[in-house]
């Protein structure tokens, strides 16, 4: 990794909807743009998915491409290709509470009538639960159709409200992101978690680019953080356009 021209400016980027289409692979032109950007300023990736999915979208060895890499909101963190920290929700909550959440979720989902259901309704990640009413095994066409259905009928929003009441004793946060799912994790384990590794003494400006910056979206907390300059994007092309105006 080369030292950028302005290393004291760092820009952190969401993945889905920001660097790639949701659950899609980054295009060669977008990756070329990001590599060029990293020669100008410090670049970091901060996604909600685990590192395996991040590599599927951004390429194998992505932790070695840019100086900072945060998967699962920073619960798995890398600096210059070296692992800094791994945090796990199972240790934090304990197995009894893990089973309590899983059992309640499966019962709730069994009572929802959707046009279709597929599989992998709960994905257990080291730092969070990812819950999908339709199931993560749906096709892209099914994913797109479900997103429209969800926006009309508030499936995820209603489920989050129910879980908030049911598990109010556990201190959890709920974040709707992407097209088909939402994340469940302890308070403070949103994307602002990654900022604990970014020392203000090392940077004059911390920028964040993401598409789910609305209240309840999984970019909202870091977007509105006092430590960042937040930028809402609507597509990878928009990301390129905004970064070009700001940094190139």
Q: Where are the domains of the chain?
A: 6-86+190-247, 89-186
Tell the CATH topology of 6-86+190-247: Rossmann fold (3.40.50)
Place of tokens 């990736």: 45
Segment 46-97, tens digit of pLDDT: 998 889 999 999 999 999 999 999 998 999 999 999 999 998 899 899 999 9
Identify the pLDDT of residue 194: 97
What Cα–Cα distance (Å) separates residue 156 from each residue in 21, 56, 115, 178, 212? Answer: 20, 25, 15, 11, 15
Listed as own residue / partner, the contacts of 116-120 with beta carbons closer than 8 Å and 24 or more positions apart are: 116/142, 116/146, 118/142
Pick from 63, 55, 13, 61: nearest CA to 238: 13
**225 - beta bridge partners?**
none
pLDDT-derived band at 218, boundaries 50, 70, 90: confident
**In this model, does residue 199 exceed pLDDT 80?**
yes
Return the CATH architecture of domain 89-186.
2-Layer Sandwich (3.30)
pLDDT at 178: 79
Q: How far is CA 173 from the centre of its chain?
A: 14
Q: What is the mean pLDDT of the chain?
A: 95
Sequence-ordered list of residues with C-beta below 8 angstroms from that of 240, at least 6 positions apart, any chain: 30, 33
Q: Is the pLDDT of residue 116 over 90?
A: yes
Whether 126 has a pLDDT exceeding 90, the answer reads no
pLDDT of residue 231: 98
Paired tokens of 34: 């990001």
Annotation says 16 is catalytic = yes
Pairing of strands 172-177, 181-186: antiparallel
């Amino acid at each position: 990794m080369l030292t950028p021209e302005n290393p004291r400016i760092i820009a952190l980027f969401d993945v889905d909807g920001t660097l790639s289409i949701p659950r899609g692979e980054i295009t060669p032109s977008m990756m070329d743009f990001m590599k060029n950007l990293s020669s100008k300023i410090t670049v970091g990736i901060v996604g909600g998915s685990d590192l395996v999915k991040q590599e599927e979208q951004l390429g194998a060895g992505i932790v070695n491409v840019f100086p900072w890499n945060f998967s699962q909101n920073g619960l798995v963190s890398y600096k210059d290709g070296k692992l800094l920290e791994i945090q796990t929700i199972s240790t934090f909550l304990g197995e009894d509470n893990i089973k309590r959440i899983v059992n309640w979720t499966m019962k709730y989902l069994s009572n929802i009538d959707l046009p279709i259901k597929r599989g992998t309704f709960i994905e257990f990640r080291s730092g969070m639960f990812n819950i999908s009413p339709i199931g993560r095994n749906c096709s892209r066409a099914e994913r797109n159709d479900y997103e429209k259905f969800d926006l009309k009928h508030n499936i995820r929003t209603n489920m989050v409200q129910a879980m908030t009441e049911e598990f109010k004793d556990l201190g959890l946060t709920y974040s709707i992101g992407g097209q088909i799912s939402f994340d469940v994790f302890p308070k403070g384990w949103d994307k602002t978690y990654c900022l604990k590794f970014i020392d203000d003494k090392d940077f004059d400006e911390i920028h964040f680019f993401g598409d789910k910056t609305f209240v309840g979206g999984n970019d909202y907390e870091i977007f509105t953080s006092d430590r960042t300059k937040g930028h809402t994007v609507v597509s990878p092309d928009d990301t390129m356009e905004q970064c070009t105006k700001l940094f190139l």
